[in-house]
Amino acid sequence: MHSQPISDIQPLADIILLLGEKVSKLITECRDFYKLEEEVYKLSQEACVKIFAWALEEIDTWLVNARDKRTWKVIGFRERTVVSSFGEFKVKRRLYRNKQTGEARFLLDEVLGWPERSGCTPRLKEMAVKLGSEVPFRRAAEILGYFVPGISAMAVWQAVQEAGEALRQEGESRREAVFEKGETPEGKEKTSRLYIEADGVVVRLQRSGEKRKEVKLFVAYTGKEAIGGGRKALKDKLVTSGVGEGERMWEEVYSGVASRWDMGQVKEIYLGSDGAEWAKQGVDYFPGAVHVLDPYHLNRRLIEAFWHDEEAYSGIRQAIYLGDREKVEEIMGGAARRVRGAKRRRIEKLWQYLKENWSGIVTSSAAEHLGAIEGQVQHNVARRMKRLGASWTEAGADRMARVLAARANGVLGRHTSRWPVLLARQEHLAQAVRLEVKRKIEEAGSWHKAGLPALKGPSAGAPWVKHVLRELSRPSLSSLIP
């Protein structure tokens, strides 16, 4: 690629020179530690914003010289406002038109993978999404505001929505590949046994004909391991969550599980649930899977029905453990005859529940290895989405649920620290920019000293000139460029 002269580095030197002057003045005038820290921080942010804008404009200048002039014509500048982790700033970049097709493009945006409607930088987006998944959007904006001037609750909300939508599209694409295009997932990880648990949590809706909606949560894992203090953690955990019909969500779960694990190596699959019909549908998607009623939910039902009758409660638990259905029916019949009203209705409801889920109760001893879903629901969904006063649109609830699942899987950064733009066609150009900037800075030692009159002027003896600008003028500055 043809080399072009680098733009004047004087603006960068001026920024640092001005920062030195302001900090020097502040030191002599400030008498309050808090105020000194606050003002130095603000000055540093102002300088960082200017340096960041200068860096972007330098890349844009290099691109205008490196472009194919036979194809791309500059038709003007367009200013763009963006909020970064340093604060809000504006940058001017060139708009090009393709002479053959008439297509208009910003080469700078493409090299950086800068989406047209994105109002914040990737690093700030990562901060906003991670904080927004922990606390309400307004509180997240308040916390970020201590470090990033100008960010609003709406900006945090938008960042979460963008990340959640990218995750939804990724899950839907994977589901379509398997269930609509007939592709076979090629999971690489090996395991002979899988546990998959499913449950839901109801959240309040806003701007909807429905008042509430269930967020479905699924967790797949290969077992449990001790982590100390008598506690255990799930091994190889994979969380899936969203707002959707049971069948569609199970399709997404299967495509995700099969994309991770080699299903041909899996010999046993246990599906745990509380007995909800949509949750039990999982056996239709995992051949040979065995449904197991979650022991936590089973015990809760027993306590609700027999909190007043300890003898019946203990007897039924023992009969269930032995798989003796006749004994269970006998004990429940006797307990029901001894009570009336609401207590009797609860016992009758429990018996119906046990009959509907009997195969899941006595199928296997695998039940003792399950029971993780309740804690997963509380930790990964309910803690954020069921806060006092929280309400969601249906789409917003789905996106947040997916963000929370990605956080639980430790992959949220993939959807926040990079913009969701395909850069393959521009990667060679981006690499060329990096190499050219590095080479030019290495050449800068001889000429950019001459562009810094402060090194020889009346301020040459000032500390911020001797110790900042003089070091900046050394060719070794190139070592800062990766």
pLDDT confidence of residue 85: 87
**Same domain flag for 279 and 310:** yes
Residue at 184: amino acid letter: T
**Cα–Cα separations (whole angstroms), residue 33 to 38, 40, 142, 409:** 9, 11, 24, 43
The reply to whether 128 falls in a domain is no
Which one has a higher pLDDT value, 436 or 84?
84
Q: Is residue 382 located within the same domain as residue 468?
A: no
At position 86, the amino acid (one-letter code) is F
Which DSSP state fits 417?
S
Q: Which residue has the higher pLDDT, 441 or 240?
A: 240
- Measured torsion, CA atoms of residues 481, 18, 10, 444, in degrees rounded to the nearest 10: -40
> Parallel, antiparallel, or unpaired for β 104-105 and 87-98?
antiparallel
DSSP string spanning 266-327? --EEEEEESS-HHHHGGGGTSTT-EEEE-HHHHHHHHHHHHTT-HHHHHHHHHHHHHT-HHH
Residue 145, in any domain of the structure? no
Same domain? For 434 and 339 the reply is no
The reply to whether 255 and 217 lie within a common domain is: yes
Asked if the structure places residue 225 within a domain, the reply is: yes
- Position 302 in a domain: yes
**Is the domain of 226 the same as that of 78?**
no
> Which of 92, 10, 83 lies closest to 45 in space, CA to CA?
83
Q: Note whether 318 and 462 are same-domain residues.
A: no
331-344: b or e for each residue (b if 16 or more CB lie within 10 Å)?
Answer: bbeebbeeeeeebe
Last residue of a domain, one of 349, 376, 408: 408
Give the integer Cα–Cα distance in Å for 355 and 91.
Answer: 67
Query: Does 365 lie in the same domain as 323?
Result: yes
Helix (H) or strand (E) holding 241: strand 238-242
**Per-residue pLDDT at 415:** 74
pLDDT digits (tens, 9 = 90+) for 48-80: 999 988 888 888 888 888 888 899 999 999 998
Choose the final residue of a domain: 359, 380, 408: 408
The predicted model scores a pTM of 0.76
Residue 101: give the domain boundaries.
10-114+421-480
Q: How many residues does the chain have?
A: 482
160 found inside a domain: no
What confidence tens digit (pLDDT) does each residue in 103-148 have? 999 988 888 877 777 778 888 889 999 999 999 999 999 999 888 8
Strand order in the sheet with 72-84: 72-84, 87-98, 104-105
Residues 461 and 366 in one domain: no
Last residue of a domain, one of 345, 373, 408: 408
- Cα 220 to chain center, whole Å? 19
425 and 390 share one domain: no
Taking only the tens place, the pLDDT of each residue in 300-325 is 888 888 888 888 888 888 888 777 88
Count the domains in the chain. 2
> 365 to each of 198, 199, 295, 355, how far by Cα in Å?
18, 20, 11, 19
In tens, the pLDDT along 429-479 reads 556 555 655 665 565 554 444 555 545 555 555 554 554 545 555 544 333
Rounded mean pLDDT of 146-169?
A: 89
> What are the φ/ψ torsions at residue 161 (nearest 5 degrees)?
-60, -45
Distances (CA, A) of 125 to 54, 137, 162, 219: 21, 13, 9, 27
Q: What is the H or E stretch that residue 219 is in?
A: strand 212-221
- Top mean pLDDT of 14-23, 191-200, 205-214, 384-393 is at 191-200
| 450 & 391 share domain | no
Average pLDDT over residues 244-253: 94
Q: Are residues 403 and 427 in the same domain?
A: no
Look over the chain and give the mean of its residue pLDDT values, rounded to a whole number. Answer: 82
367 assigned to some structural domain: yes
C-alpha 475: how far from its chain's center?
A: 40
Question: Which residue, chain included where needed, has tokens 């393709």?
Answer: 98
Looking at the structure, tell me whether residues 459 and 374 fall in a common domain.
no
In this structure, is residue 316 part of a structural domain?
yes
Is 165 part of any domain? Answer: no
For residue 228, the cross-strand partners are 231
